[in-house]
Amino acid sequence: MAEKGKVCVTGAGGYVASWLVKLLLSKGYVVHGTIRNLGDKKYAHLKTLDKASENLKLFKADLLDYNSLRAAIEGCIGVFHVACPVPYEHMLSVALGTSMDLEEEVEKMEVEIIEPAVKGTQNVLQACLETTVKRVVFVSSDGAVLMNPNWPRDHVMDEACWSDKEYCSETKNWYCLAKTAAESKALEYAKETKLEVVTVCPSLVIGPMLQSTTNASSLVLIKVFTDGLDKLENIFRYLVDVRDVADALLLTYENPKADGRYICSSHTIRPRDLVEKLKKMYPHYNYPKKFSEVENEQKLSSEKLQKLGWSYRPLEQTLIDSVQSYQDAGVINNATLR
C-alpha cells in the first residue's frame, strides 16, 4: 500500500487537480504540483488552500520536457498524473451533441493533443520508475471507454470496454483518441516494468470550481443554462462531481486492493431530464428549446470503483454547488437565478 508522504500532482492548477491537491493537503500529504508558468495568476488559488504554505511546492514543468517532470517527481512516493491538453471547442461539441467544424489538421492534433498526452504520460512513468515512486494514479476519461461501436448494445460498458482508436480517428474524436492511447500506454508500461499503475476514467466532470478560469466541462453545464441552444441530442450523458473524482483518485492510491482501471461516473441522465430538473431549481433561464431523440440505451458502470469503497454525492447537490460556484466566479448572472 502506498503510504502517506510526499506525492506529485501533474497539472496541479487544473479543475480536477486543484480539488485533488486540496484533498491531499487536508489529509496531511506534502504535495509537489506541476504547472506551466509559476508566475501565472490563474494558479493563485493553489496558494490559498489550507496547509498550502507549508505543504505545497509548485514546479514549472512541461509534459514533453522529461527533466522538468523528473525534478518535480524526485523524492515523491506517489504520483497523480492529471495533466492533459483539452480541446475546448471539440469537447463542448461532443458533450453537447452540437455541430462544429471538425476538419482540423491531423498534424495539428498530433502536436497539440495526442503527443503531449501519450509522450507526456511516457515521460511521467519513466521518471516514476527511475525515482522512489511506489504507485501512480493516471487520470484517463470515459472517452477511453465509450467510443466502441462494436461493444454489444445490450451490455453495460465496464472496464473491459475500450474505445476503438481507429474509430476515434475516423470520427475525429481527438481527445478520446489521446486518452485511449495514453491510458493503454500507461497500463502496458506497468505490465512491462512492474511499476504500480492504476487508471481512473471519469465521465463528464461538473461541480464547484476552485480555479479562476472556467474549464471545458464546466462550460458544458453553463451553456445548458445560458445559451438557449436550438436543439440538443437527448442521448444519455454521464456525470460525476469533481469532489467525488478527487475522492476516487485518493482511494485508488491508498487502497492496496486497487488494480487496473476504474470507471468513475455517478449519474446517467438525458439532457431533457437534466433541463427539467434545472428548471425546477432555477426557472428563469435560457435553456435549450428542443431535443432530438437518439437511440442510446447503453449504460456506464462504476460498480468496480464502488466495490472498492467509493461513494458519490446526489446530483441535486452537485448542481446547487455548481451554480453557486458559477455565481461567485461571475460567469453566471446572479439576477437570472432567482
Q: How close are the terminal C-alpha atoms of the chain, in Å?
A: 49
Q: What is the DSSP string of 1-20?
A: -PPSSEEEEETTTSHHHHHH
Give the span between the Cα atoms of 34 and 83, in whole angstroms.
Answer: 9
| Neighbour count for residue 193 (Cβ, 10 Å) | 13
Among 243, 312, 319, smallest CA distance to 276 is for: 319
Question: Is 108 one of the catalytic residues?
Answer: no
- Which of 47, 172, 179, 280 is an active site residue? 179
| 81 DSSP β-pair partners | 10, 138
Assigned C-alpha cell, 31: 504535495
Q: What is the DSSP string of 46-77?
A: GGGSTTHHHHEEEEE--TT-HHHHHHHHTT-S
Give the span between the Cα atoms of 117 and 123, in whole angstroms.
Answer: 10
Residue owning grid cell 509522450: 119
Decide if 333 contacts 301 (C-beta within 8 A): no
Decide if 202 contacts 16 (C-beta within 8 A): yes
Rounded (10°) CA dihedral 179, 329, 226, 239: 40
Instruction: Give the number of residues written for the chain.
Output: 338
Beta strands, E only, the chain: 6-10, 30-35, 56-60, 78-81, 135-139, 196-202, 204-206, 231-234, 237-241, 260-264, 267-269, 290-293
Residues involved in catalysis: 179
